[in-house]
């Protein structure tokens, strides 16, 4: 937990020697609290204070980064509810694959190539969880090494290796210095797993059925020199998962309890209903999420949910106001009006584009709000619309002065006629999905 | 080493609200449904028990809708043309409540007749929506309210520009109201105040903070619901109402659910994706504190019901 300036001041020498460049120790403490200076500027601070201040400066939930050709980050979160600030690191979505699967390379390649577009952003899967064979024979270790090599022919994304110590050791040896996430240390194998993680500098999942047990294990493993850990609560049911992830996050954020200050991993692939469990994991704090297989019809909604939940609530996603040309409009093409909220813009633009019909799309500055919200807030009214049309000089681009309002703000048509007396004002459909039909039937 | 979990200490609680009246209570419902009553954030059983689980409502219409997804038409079949049949099928599909949406084509007479036929066909407590135009809503809801006195129906939808007539008739006939505002904590409080000021008992108000579908602004509603629930637990009396949201309506108007052709291949199988869209939207809202979720597809009802069952299990 971050310390206040006053709390930091109490740990400083309080001599006001000015050697740090500030007039008083209190002024320096305030700058430290604001993270604008380094503690090393103070030549006289005690070792004990240094240690305490360094601990307080560490994030309450450790940032764990999985690096390969691409990168997945988890941790560094600071709030329980997104409206309190924002959630930062989107949970990575990993697809589970089996080392012994004869179609391993093909399955990985197919999921690796997946790309889906949502409001102008491209989403992909984040990585793969490679599961070693269940029985811990030497055969399983060999197959893990071979499987890692096979997977690496098909993807550059980060990996989670799942199996016993022998299998993980074999997998690591085939990784060529790369650091996968290792799964998992529990009470029975903590020493061996900790050694593997330490020697390979990999992050390690720690699994226990209780938070007490987890905290004991992470402390034990940390004492062996492993810094990057990920928590698995053992539970797979909705209620237990929610309870434990909430409790662990509270311990980290509110009690600054380091042994649980790590990101978490969730396994919707082992839940009764994968989609439901994954939706909860995204909403409630998971850092890594393992899905059973590559299913675009589930992956797409989950990727969108993740984007929604991790959008900064203080900053609505916006597009640049202006005039957008869709399907090469001509002077006789209609002028459509909407707001600069991304989702609104892309819904409208996609529909018009899909219809194949040319149009001029005027995007007004509604401070990133959707049509109805902006209208209710007074950010999308006749005056603003008229101002956009005039300032963008739309009249010079068209031969037929005809503007289409969103159906939700049909009420504005009278006022807009007054603002734009030489324009024909039309009221379009309420929903973007009905635009193509409207353009075909009503706009000729 | 046993660790001590920090617990939130709340002074307030959500008001319990009961929808529907059995014969003993002056109505004809097979059973009543009580929602609300929470004293902590959703499903944190280590802090406080969850007194009532969220209820699932299925939305049916007084007339066969012509703008619903073909996937919904396929699953409900001919029942969509007969509200009584549709109500029965919805009950069989596992609904706790029914939402009957009246349409612009209804007259006061047809609306009363259809509401009565639905009450006759199913013992579930009922929510009745007007078609969504102020004058028409009032024209239909007043006679419906009078004809069903004592059933403890939820009448909707009250909005700031049209609530007085609906509240007055609900008060006079022992019904409840649904108070809808546009994804904003203060707007929600304001409408609750206006309705309470008319004398509506506070245990007969369900608030509807509005939601967007997944991908279409759902996160705004999600956070407004978390904030409303926190405000109610902090003791703000005008936010202490159970929350009803309509993820079915929202999800099924998105292109992702509605359309099966001419969409990106990356969207996957149409039917599975459409149902996932409704479910993922709903689960996020259930996590943020929804007390009633109004759904459309029976498969979503089943899966959401199972999820709620798991969440309320300690």
Which pLDDT score is estimated for A5? 85
Q: What is the pLDDT of residue A50?
A: 85
Q: Which residues of B touch A242 (CB under 8 A)?
A: 43-44, 287, 311
- Asked whether the beta carbons of A375 and A406 are under 8 A apart, the reply is no
Contact between chains at B215 and A343 (C-beta distance less than 8 A)? yes
Q: What CATH superfamily classification does B17-311 receive?
A: Dihydropteroate synthase-like (3.20.20.20)
Please give the helix or strand (H or E) that residue A303 lies within, else none. helix A296-309
Cα(B299)–Cα(B76) distance, integer angstroms:
11
A215 to B3: CB separation less than 8 angstroms, yes or no? yes
Tell me, what's the pLDDT at A119?
79
Of B218, B219, B276, the CB nearest to A298: B276
Establish if B66 touches chain A: CB-CB under 8 angstroms: no
Two tokens at B139?
Answer: 């024209």
3-state secondary structure of A184: strand
Does residue A378 come out as left (phi exceeding 0), alpha (psi in the -120 to 50 range) or beta? left
Q: Per 3-state DSSP, what percentage of chain B is helix, strand, and coil (rounded to 5)?
A: 45, 15, 40
A window 244-263, beta carbon within 8 A of B = 246-247, 250-251, 254-255, 257, 260
List beta partners, residue B56. Answer: B293
The stretches of chain B forming alpha helices (DSSP H) are 70-76, 83-92, 108-121, 134-147, 164-172, 185-197, 218-233, 247-251, 255-258, 270-287, 298-311
What whole-number distance in Å separates Cα of residue B278 and Cα of residue A301? Answer: 9
Smallest Cβ–Cβ distance between A238 and the set B44, B280, B307 belongs to: B307
Q: Distance of CA B47 to CAs A266, B307, B313, Å?
A: 23, 20, 14
* Rounded Cα–Cα distance for residues B283 and B311 (Å): 11
Rounded-to-integer distance, Cα A291 and Cα A268, Å: 6
Within 8 A of B160 by CB-CB distance, chain A residues are: none
Of A363, A319, A358, A307, give the one whose Cα is nearest residue A339. A363
The total of other beta-carbon atoms located within 10 Å of residue A349's CB is 21
Chain A CB contacts of B220 under 8 Å are: 313, 373
pTM of the entire structure?
Answer: 0.88
Thinking of the domain A64-309, which architecture would CATH place it in?
Answer: Alpha-Beta Barrel (3.20)
Residues of A in contact with B261 (CB under 8 A): none
Task: Say how far residue A126 (Cα) sits from the centre of its chain.
Answer: 11
- Can you tell me whether residue B110 is helix, strand or coil? helix
Say if residues A435 and A348 touch (Cβ distance below 8 Å): yes
**What string of pLDDT tens digits covers the 444 residues of chain A?**
567 888 889 889 999 999 998 999 999 988 888 777 888 889 998 888 888 887 777 789 999 999 999 999 999 999 999 999 999 999 999 999 999 999 999 999 999 999 999 877 899 999 999 999 765 555 666 789 999 999 999 999 999 999 999 999 999 999 988 999 999 999 999 999 999 999 999 999 999 999 999 999 999 999 999 999 999 999 999 999 999 999 999 999 999 899 999 999 999 999 999 999 999 999 999 999 999 999 999 999 999 999 999 999 887 678 889 999 998 999 999 999 999 988 889 889 888 987 889 999 999 999 888 898 899 889 999 999 999 999 999 999 999 999 999 999 999 999 999 999 999 999 999 988 889 999 998 876
Q: Is residue A144 a contact partner of residue A170, using CB atoms and an 8 Å limit?
A: yes
| Nearest chain A residue (CA) to B273 | A297
- Residue from the list A117, A246, A300 with its beta carbon closest to the beta carbon of B268: A300
Contact B306 A297 (CB under 8 A): no
Contact A242 B311 (CB under 8 A): yes
How many Cβ atoms from other residues are within 10 Å of residue A16's Cβ? Answer: 15
Residue range(s) of every CATH 3.20.20.20 domain in chain A: 64-309
Type and span of the H or E element at A122: strand A121-123
ipTM: 0.97
CATH number of A322-441: 3.40.50.11600
Cβ atoms within 10 Å of B4's Cβ, excluding its own: 8
Q: Which of B218, B286, B310, B314 to mutate to test the interface with A (most CBs of A within 10 A)?
A: B310
- Residues A5-57: name the CATH superfamily: Electron transport complex subunit B, putative Fe-S cluster (1.10.15.40)
Q: For all residues of chain B together, what is the average pLDDT?
A: 96
Q: Which parts of A327-426 fold into alpha helices (H)? A: 342-355, 371-376, 382-391, 413-419
Rg of chain B over all Cα atoms, to the nearest angstrom: 19
DSSP states along A194-230: HHHHHHHT-EEEEE-SSHHHHHHHHHHHHHTT---EE
Give me the residue from B267, B276, B310 closest to A237, CB to CB: B310
Chain B contact for A216, CB < 8 A? Answer: yes
Chain B interface mutation, best of A276, A338, A372, highest count of B Cβ atoms under 10 Å: A276
Chain B nearest CA to A395, separation (Å): 32
Q: What is the 8-class DSSP label of residue B237?
A: G
Give B-chain residues touching A303 at CB under 8 angstroms: none
Predicted confidence (pLDDT) per residue in B183-237, tens digit: 889 999 999 999 999 999 999 999 999 998 999 889 999 999 999 999 999 999 9
Sign (positive or negative) of CA dihedral B223, B225, B228, B234: negative
Interface of A with B in 296-355 (CB under 8 A): 296-302, 304-305, 307-309, 311, 313, 343, 347, 350-351, 354
Which bin fits A177, alpha (ψ -120 to 50), beta or left (φ > 0)?
A: left
User: What residue of A is the nearest CA neighbor of B308?
Assistant: A238
* Crossing angle (nearest 10°) for helices B108-121 and B83-92: 30
> In whole angstroms, what is the distance from residue A91 CA to residue A206 CA?
17
| pLDDT tens-digit series, residues B271-311 | 999 999 999 999 999 999 999 999 999 999 999 999 999 99
Q: B272 CB near a chain A CB, below 8 Å?
A: yes
Closest chain A C-alpha to B299 CA, distance in angstroms:
12
Interchain contact, A283 vs B288, CB within 8 Å: yes
Distance of CA B184 to the CA centre of its chain: 18
For the segment B95-108, the average pLDDT, to the nearest whole number, is: 98
Contacts of A275 in chain B (CB under 8 A): 276, 279-280, 303
Separation of alpha carbons B184 and B6, rounded Å: 29
Domain positions in chain B: 17-311
User: Mapping DSSP to helix (H, G, I), strand (E, B) and coil, where does residue A355 land?
Assistant: helix
CB contact under 8 A, A309 and B227: no
Neighbours of A78 (CB within 10 A): 16
CB contact under 8 A, B280 and A216: no
| Least confident among A428-432, B24-28, B61-65, B269-273 | A428-432
What pLDDT, on a 0 to 100 scale, did the predictor assign at position A137? 55
Which two structure tokens, joined as six digits, stand for B53? 């689980």
A203 Cβ under 8 Å from any chain B Cβ: no
User: Nearest-CA neighbor of A128 among A286, A269, A297, A291?
Assistant: A291
Beta bridge partners, A203, equal A181
- Answer yes or no: do B267 and A283 touch at CB < 8 A: no
Domain with CATH 3.40.50.11600 in chain A: 322-441
Burial code of A366-395, b = ≥16 C-beta within 10 A, e = fewer?
Answer: bbbbbbbbbbbeebbbbebbbebbeebebe
Cis peptide before B261 (omega within 30 of 0): no
């Amino acid at each position: 937990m971050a310390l206040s300036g006053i709390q930091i001041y109490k740990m400083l020498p309080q001599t006001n020697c000015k050697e740090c460049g500030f007039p008083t120790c209190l002024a320096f403490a305030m700058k430290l609290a604001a993270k604008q200076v380094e503690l090393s500027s103070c030549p006289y601070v005690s070792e004990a204070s240094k240690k305490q201040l360094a601990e307080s400066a560490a994030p309450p939930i450790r940032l764990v980064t999985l690096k390969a050709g691409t990168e997945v980050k988890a941790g560094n979160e600071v709030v329980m509810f997104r409206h309190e600030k924002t959630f930062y690191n989107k949970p990575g979505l990993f697809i589970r694959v089996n080392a012994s699967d004869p179609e391993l390379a093909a399955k990985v390649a197919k999921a690796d190539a997946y790309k889906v577009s949502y409001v102008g952003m491209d989403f992909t899967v984040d990585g793969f969880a490679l599961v070693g064979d269940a029985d811990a024979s030497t055969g399983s270790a060999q197959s893990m090494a071979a499987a890692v090599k096979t997977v690496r022919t098909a993807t550059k994304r980060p990996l989670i290796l799942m199996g016993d110590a022998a299998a993980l050791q074999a997998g690591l040896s085939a990784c060529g210095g790369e650091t996968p996430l290792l799964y998992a240390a529990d009470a029975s194998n903590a020493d061996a797993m900790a050694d593997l993680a330490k020697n390979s500098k990999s992050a390690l999942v720690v699994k226990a059925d209780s938070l007490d047990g987890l905290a004991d294990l992470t402390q034990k493993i940390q004492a062996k020199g492993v810094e990057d850990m990920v928590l698995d609560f053992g539970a797979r049911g909705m209620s237990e998962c929610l309870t434990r992830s909430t409790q662990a996050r509270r311990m980290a954020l509110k009690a600054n309890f380091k042994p649980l200050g790590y990101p978490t991993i969730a396994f919707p692939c082992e839940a009764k209903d994968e989609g439901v469990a994954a939706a909860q994991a995204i909403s409630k704090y998971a850092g890594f999420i393992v899905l059973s297989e590559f299913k675009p019809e589930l992956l797409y909604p989950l990727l969108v949910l993740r984007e929604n939940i991790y959008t900064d609530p203080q900053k609505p996603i916006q597009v640049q106001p202006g005039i957008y040309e869709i399907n090469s409009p001509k002077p006789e093409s209609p002028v459509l009006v909407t707001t600069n909220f991304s989702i609104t813009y892309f819904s409208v633009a996609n529909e018009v584009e899909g219809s194949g019909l040319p149009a001029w799309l005027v995007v007004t500055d509604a401070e990133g709000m959707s049509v109805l919200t902006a209208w209710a807030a007074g950010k999308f009214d006749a005056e603003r619309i008229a101002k956009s049309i005039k300032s963008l000089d739309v009249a010079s681009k068209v031969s037929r002065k005809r503007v289409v309002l969103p159906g939700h703000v049909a009420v504005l048509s009278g006022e807009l006629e007054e603002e734009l007396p030489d324009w024909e004002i039309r009221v379009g459909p309420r929903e973007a999905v009905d635009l193509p039909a409207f353009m075909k039937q009503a706009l000729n | 080493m046993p660790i001590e979990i920090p617990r939130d200490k709340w002074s307030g609680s959500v008001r319990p609200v009961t929808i529907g009246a059995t014969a003993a209570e002056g109505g004809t419902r097979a059973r009543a449904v009580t929602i609300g009553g929470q004293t902590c954030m959703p499903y944190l059983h280590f802090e406080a028990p969850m007194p009532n689980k969220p209820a699932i409502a299925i939305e049916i219409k007084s007339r066969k809708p012509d703008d619903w997804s073909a996937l919904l038409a396929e699953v409900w079949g001919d029942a969509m043309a007969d509200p009584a049949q549709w109500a029965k099928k919805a009950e069989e599909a596992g609904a706790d409540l029914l939402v009957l949406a009246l349409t612009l084509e209804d007259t006061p007479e047809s609306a009363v007749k259809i509401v009565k036929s639905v009450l006759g066909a199913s013992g579930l407590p009922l929510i009745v929506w007007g078609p969504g135009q102020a004058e028409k809503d009032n024209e239909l809801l007043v006679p419906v309210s009078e004809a069903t006195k004592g059933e403890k129906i939820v009448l909707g939808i009250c909005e700031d520009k049209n609530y007085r007539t609906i509240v007055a008739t609900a008060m006079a006939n022992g019904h409840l109201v649904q108070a809808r505002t546009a994804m904003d904590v203060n707007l929600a409080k304001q409408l609750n105040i206006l309705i309470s000021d008319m004398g509506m008992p506070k245990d007969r108000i369900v608030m509807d903070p509005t939601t967007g579908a997944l991908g279409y602004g759902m996160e705004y509603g999600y956070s407004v619901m978390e904030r409303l629930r926190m405000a109610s637990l902090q003791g703000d009396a005008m936010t202490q109402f159970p929350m009803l949201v309509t993820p079915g309506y929202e999800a099924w108007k998105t292109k992702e659910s509605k359309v099966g052709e001419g969409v990106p291949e990356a969207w996957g199988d149409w039917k599975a994706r459409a149902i996932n869209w409704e479910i993922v939207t709903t689960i996020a809202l259930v996590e943020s504190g929804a007390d009633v979720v109004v759904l459309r597809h029976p498969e979503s009802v089943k899966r959401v019901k199972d999820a709620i069952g798991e969440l309320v299990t300690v």
